[in-house]
Amino acid sequence: MKPKKENKKGGAIVSLIVGIIFVLLAIMCFIGDMDYLLGGKAKDLNEIAANVRPQKDDHVRTDSYLVLGNFAETKHYINGVIPAGKEQHYAIVLGDDNMDDITDAKIIVLTVKNKKTIKKLDELANDDNANFSDAIAIEGQIRTLDPEIEGYYRDALASSGIADYCDYYTVAVDATQTRFFGWMIVLGALAIGVLCIIAFAKINKQIKNEKNLAYTNATPAMGQPGNPYVNPVTGQPYDAGVVNPVTGQAYNQTPDAGYGQAPNQTYNQTPDGAPSVPYTPGQNTDNNPYS
């Protein structure tokens, strides 16, 4: 079994490493989603799709009313047992009332989990007469598709036949996260990191204090064998057995005087049968106990 001191030192190092990892994670999450978290204006996905391919992590928005349908569902579990929510994946068509030909449209995946949004998307998917006035506003970030979800997506497009005359993207607009949730992740990771670093500092300080205490206990006290301090009057080491009858304390210090100087404080002694007289430097240099 490792000594307690080594266990504390190891725990301090682990706390520091974990703290640094979480702080770096918070920084990376913030930098990656900076525009979104700081409320930057979302890009128009229709305009992007008309010119270039949407890029991962782009913060985008679109108004969609052409919903092909829900083609997959993802369920999340904690430890593979406890349900932790689910997401719905829809295939939607990008475009507006100015689009002359369906072949000009682009298809993209929309991932959502909000119940009201899901209800609206299902209504649009079942409404053959839907138009732009019925469109639902979508805002999210471009994410890569999970390979399994991408497989379901391609199968759905192939079975509908729309992929034969309409282009599609193999990325998704992830509308499952809000700015609040994003900030929670960043601040949560940062808080854990800071707490771990504080724990490291406290453990490290405790270890140093224990070292100092061990050193103090190992150093002989005044009046004990091995103590380097001597009585400046007698030149002999202080004797812990010699005590001041008035204070009850050992004569082991030189109050108000520098090291090697005679005390400038007087002590009383009481010789047998005699009244108390003041002690002055130079008396009782024979090292006999004071009485």
Interval 95-151: pLDDT, tens: 766 666 666 778 999 999 989 999 999 999 988 777 777 888 888 889 999 999 999
- The token duo for 227 is 């103590």
Residues in the chain: 291
Q: Is position 112 within any domain?
A: yes
Do 51 and 155 share a domain, yes or no?
yes
> For residue 189, which of 20, 52, 71 has the smallest C-alpha distance?
20
Q: Is position 1 within any domain?
A: no
CATH of the domain at 113: 2.40.50
Share of the chain above pLDDT 90, in %: 19
Lowest mean pLDDT among 68-82, 100-114, 133-147, 220-234: 220-234
Do 60 and 99 share a domain, yes or no?
yes
Residue with tokens 């010699």: 242
Q: Is position 140 within any domain?
A: yes
Across 171-188, average pLDDT = 82
CA dist., res. 258 & res. 291, Å (int): 26
Q: Is position 289 within any domain?
A: no
Do 168 and 250 share a domain, yes or no?
no
In terms of residue numbers, what domain contains 268?
220-282
Do 58 and 167 share a domain, yes or no?
yes
Q: Is the pLDDT of residue 26 over 70?
A: yes
Number of domains in the chain: 3
Say what the pLDDT of residue 251 is.
55
Say what the pLDDT of residue 109 is.
94
Do 130 and 34 share a domain, yes or no?
no
Could you give the residue ranges of the DSSP H alpha helices within the chain?
4-32, 34-37, 45-51, 115-125, 147-160, 179-218
Helix (H, G, I), strand (E, B) or coil at 201: helix
Question: Cβ(37)–Cβ(186) under 8 Å?
Answer: yes
CA dist., res. 209 & res. 8, Å (int): 13
Q: Is position 291 within any domain?
A: no
Do 253 and 138 share a domain, yes or no?
no
Domain boundary among 195, 217, 239: 217
Question: Cβ(145)–Cβ(171) under 8 Å?
Answer: yes
Q: Is the pLDDT of residue 67 over 80?
A: yes
Do 79 and 116 share a domain, yes or no?
yes
Do 98 and 158 share a domain, yes or no?
yes
CA dist 280 → 82, 192, 236 (Å) = 84, 65, 17
Q: Is the pLDDT of residue 267 over 70?
A: no
Do 75 and 173 share a domain, yes or no?
yes
CA dist., res. 202 & res. 16, Å (int): 11
Lowest mean pLDDT among 27-31, 197-201, 255-259, 282-286: 255-259
Domain boundary among 217, 240, 274: 217
Longest dimension (CA), the chain: 127
Say what the pLDDT of residue 220 is.
53
For residue 160, name the pLDDT band (cuts at 50, 70, 90).
confident
In the chain, helix, strand, coil percent, each to 5? 40, 25, 40
Do 195 and 100 share a domain, yes or no?
no
Question: Cβ(127)–Cβ(19) under 8 Å?
Answer: no
Residues whose CB is less than 8 angstroms from the CB of residue 165 and which lie 6 or more positions away in sequence, other chains included: 102, 103
Across 166-179, average pLDDT = 85
For residue 48, name the pLDDT band (cuts at 50, 70, 90).
confident
Helix (H, G, I), strand (E, B) or coil at 43: strand
Do 30 and 97 share a domain, yes or no?
no
